[in-house]
Amino acid sequence: MGEHIAHTELSLFAHDKRSFERERREAIESHIATCAECGATFDFYAVAEEDLGDLAVWQPIIGSTAAAMRAYANQCAAEDREADELLKGIFAKPRKAALTNVRNQRKFHTGGVVRRLNAKAHEVVASLPLDALIFADLAQAVADLLPDDIYPNDAVYELRGTAWKERANALRRLAEFDEALESLRRSENAYSRLRSSGHGLAAVDLVRSAVYYERGELQKATKHVELAEHGYAHQGLERQRMKAILLRGEIAYESLDYAGAASTFQQIIDFGERISDARWIARGSYCRAACEVERGNLSEAVMLYHSALMILREIGPTEDRISTEWGLARVVLHEGKPTDAARRLRDVIAAFEEIGRVSDAALAGTDLAEALLVLERWDEIGKVAAHAFRVLKKAGILTGALMALAYLKEAAARRQLTPGTLKVIREYLRRVERKPDLLFAAPPEIPR
Amino acid sequence: MTRVGNSGTDTHLDEREMQDAQRETMRAEAPPELPAGGEAVAAFEEAYLLYAPRLQRIAIRRFGIEPGDAEVLVQDVFTTYFQHATDVERLEPYLIGAICNASRNYLRRSSASKAIFCGEEPCAATPDDALLNEIERKTLLSQMLARVGGDCRDLLRRFYVNGDGTEVLAHAFNITRPSVKVKLFKCRQRALEAYRAIMEKSNG
């Protein structure tokens, strides 16, 4: 390999090879091809030679802007600390907070208050949607009062967009779909004021898709969930993207595309396995199991339900575990074992009632009625319907569901109940949960 | 069934929902802790110093945006990011996606270019590896230039950017023409040393 080549020569060689005699040029080339040290030095000079001519390399990057960003971050952190103290009472008693006139109280007029209210709304929306709506309403009111220039780069619009989005999400949970869509429109308007809206617009599309899904407008739901999925993918937000995929699977299921839904849910299982997160595996498994039941792949469904159940028994949540047990009971029913199915379904109904999921209990009641119908235990069907009626009424669910259950009881008493009638009742109970104003129309079998 | 798999719990919108094993306990639990103020600020600042130059170059090189405007776009990206930093697990792809979106919006609004529609995955407007490597390399070079001293910076800039020849440089620096070549070599060598120092530092 010989002696190393002097840096001076390597530097000149990188600058202008042609100025070297052919023999020397070949010697240097041969040397740098085999000597890692000289090769690396030459590479450095060669690359620098090329890049130093690029004006962008000489542009001063950051400096005063770093100081501005630091000041902005410090401002936000200080506001957040203040907000934590200020909002303790509101978080403790949200219903009372609903009466608080934040517009008149300047102490609430900070970005920190909006951030914390938005975060709280997001946190409780699944379990306490009404509280979430209160927090989001307060956040939105404060965000509107903040001066546009409270933060650099119009960042106040991020707070406004998020407040509207959280409001929409809470409204969706409360089945106020029109108002939810209007909030999403406002959220989108706010985010659109930003040159960089982060993943705000993808979140808007996800919630919008969920609203359309709840309303049964599945084409629109599909369009928006795909936008959300793409938006999240573009920014490498994998978990958020998976939420969009999960919703896409649910939409496919509702569209009766069971094969497509099963394949989508398999992606959720794969993701859970990839990141070693049992919750995703459980969720994907029991969603796919439901598809396999519909496709008649009962053994596959049982395997998936059991896989989900093992996880959910250990880590919950309780309602998902009960839902999985419900799924297994339905498989048993499909397998032609009505006695076993009835026993399992009674347990499921009791478990749902215990945690206050009375609508699900009523729905499971229709499956129990189906099992009892096979067994021709007519009196028991009447009792199941009457029980579900009482439970719903006691829970204050005074929708057409009561009429549907009364109809079920009457049809059983007349021994005129058929699997077709049960299907109509079941489908109605599913839909009325999302559309409380929906009227029950009796199937034509029984003249009323 | 109210939902697929008999689930009435719509968990697709909130990761945290999936993580609360006991729904009931949610009422009593404190909200998930955000990073403490000081830590969040320090992490943000670190992210800014690390990624801002790279994002700025992506805006300049990939989208042809003027340096001053690119700098503002980078700030846009970071100000928004800080508002929901806790949602972001992998910072680099998030920021790169964000600067691409911001650049496209900027171009759309300024009508400086037709909007680059991003309808495929990976997005066509997302910088490829070659560009990212180039940007990283040039960012490093910028850092090196900050360490070679004012004289060397001036000399290298005149030589490489302005294209000044040895005669012009000899006159400007009040030295002989052969000395210009020696000085050029020494400056390149300084850059090499700075490069090695930076690499050693980054390799721990």
Task: Report pLDDT digits (tens) over A130-178.
Answer: 999 999 999 999 999 999 999 998 999 999 999 999 999 999 988 889 9
B94–A237 C-beta distance less than 8 A: yes
Is the model's pLDDT at A378 over the cut of 80?
A: yes
For chain A, what percent of residues have pLDDT higher than 90?
Answer: 67
Is the model's pLDDT at B89 over the cut of 70?
A: yes
Query: What does the pLDDT read at residue B28?
Result: 32
Does the beta carbon of A115 lie under 8 angstroms from any beta carbon of chain B?
yes
DSSP symbol at B24: G
| Closest by Cα among B27, B23, B97 to B55 | B97
Structure tokens at B91: 């910072």
Which residues, other chains included, contact A403 with Cβ-Cβ below 8 Å and sequence gap of 6+? A440
**pLDDT tens track for A302-326:** 999 999 999 999 998 888 899 999 9
Structure tokens at A416: 């005129």
What is the phi/psi pair of residue A375, to 5°?
-80, -5
Closest CA–CA distance from residue B107 to any residue of chain A (Å)? 10
Closest CA–CA distance from residue A394 to any residue of chain B (Å)? 20
A72–B195 C-beta distance less than 8 A: no
Query: What does the pLDDT read at residue B9?
Result: 35
Task: Kindly write down the DSSP assignment for every residue of A60-117, as one continuous string.
Answer: --SSHHHHHHHHHHHHHHHHHHHHHHHTHHHHH-HHHHTT--GGG-GGG-SHHHHHHH
A244–B87 C-beta distance less than 8 A: no
Specify whether the CB–CB gap between A422 and A366 falls below 8 A.
Answer: yes
Cβ contacts of A326 on chain B, cutoff 8 Å: 1, 6
Structure tokens at A409: 């009881």
Exposure string over A71-87, b if 16+ CB within 10 A, otherwise e: ebbbbbbebbeebbebb
d(CA A320, CA A312): 7
Q: How confident is the model at residue B151 (pLDDT cuts 50, 70, 90)?
A: confident
Query: What does the pLDDT read at residue B182?
Result: 85
Span A288-304, average pLDDT = 95
Is the model's pLDDT at A429 over the cut of 80?
A: yes
d(CA B10, CA A266): 18
Does the beta carbon of B123 lie under 8 angstroms from any beta carbon of chain A?
yes
Does the beta carbon of B57 lie under 8 angstroms from any beta carbon of chain A?
yes
B49–A319 C-beta distance less than 8 A: no
Query: What does the pLDDT read at residue B127?
Result: 63
Measured CA angle at A336 (ends A334, A338), to 5 deg: 95
Span B161-181, average pLDDT = 87
Is the model's pLDDT at A328 over the cut of 90?
A: yes
Structure tokens at A75: 């401002």
Query: What does the pLDDT read at residue B34?
Result: 42
Alpha helices in A146-215 (DSSP H): 156-173, 177-192, 200-215
Q: Mutation test of the interface with chain A: which of B6, B25, B160, choosing the one with the most A Cβ atoms within 10 A?
A: B6
Query: What does the pLDDT read at residue A287?
Result: 96
Does the beta carbon of B171 lie under 8 angstroms from any beta carbon of chain A?
no
Cβ contacts of A286 on chain B, cutoff 8 Å: 5-7
Is the model's pLDDT at A6 over the cut of 80?
A: yes
* A409 vs A446: which has the higher pLDDT: A409
d(CA A85, CA A318): 33
Measured CA angle at A368 (ends A366, A370), to 5 deg: 70
Query: What does the pLDDT read at residue A2?
Result: 65
Residues 329-368 of A with CB under 8 A from B: 330, 355, 357, 359-360, 363
DSSP symbol at A198: T
Span A374-382, average pLDDT = 95
For chain B, what percent of residues have pLDDT higher than 70?
Answer: 71
Span A326-339, average pLDDT = 95
Span A269-279, average pLDDT = 95
Query: What does the pLDDT read at residue B125?
Result: 52
Contacts of A73-76 spanning 24+ positions with Cβ under 8 A:
A73/B40, A73/B41, A73/B44, A73/B45, A73/B82, A74/B41, A75/A111, A75/A151, A76/A111, A76/A112, A76/A115, A76/A151, A76/B82, A76/B83
Is the model's pLDDT at A198 over the cut of 60?
A: yes
Closest CA–CA distance from residue B101 to any residue of chain A (Å)? 7
Q: How confident is the model at residue A267 (pLDDT cuts 50, 70, 90)?
A: very high
Query: What does the pLDDT read at residue A246?
Result: 97
Burial class (CB in 10 A: 0-12, 13-18, 19+), A167: buried
Is the model's pLDDT at B140 over the cut of 80?
A: no
* A402 vs B161: which has the higher pLDDT: A402
B138–A235 C-beta distance less than 8 A: no
Q: How confident is the model at residue A386 (pLDDT cuts 50, 70, 90)?
A: very high
DSSP symbol at A397: -
Query: What does the pLDDT read at residue B147?
Result: 78
Q: How confident is the model at residue B203 (pLDDT cuts 50, 70, 90)?
A: low
Specify whether the CB–CB gap between B172 and B164 falls below 8 A.
Answer: yes
Mean of all residue pLDDT scores within chain A: 90
Is the model's pLDDT at B7 over the cut of 70?
A: no
What is the phi/psi pair of residue A188, to 5°?
-60, -40
DSSP symbol at B35: P
For chain A, what percent of residues have pLDDT higher than 70?
Answer: 96
Asked if the peptide bond before residue A94 counts as cis, ω within 30 degrees of 0, the response is no
Structure tokens at A91: 């978080």
pTM value is 0.74
Span B82-87, average pLDDT = 87
Does the beta carbon of A263 lie under 8 angstroms from any beta carbon of chain B?
no
Q: How long is chain B? A: 204
Q: Which of A7-16, A48-57, A229-238, B177-186 has the lowest mean pLDDT?
A: A48-57
d(CA A390, CA B26): 29
Q: How confident is the model at residue B116 (pLDDT cuts 50, 70, 90)?
A: very low
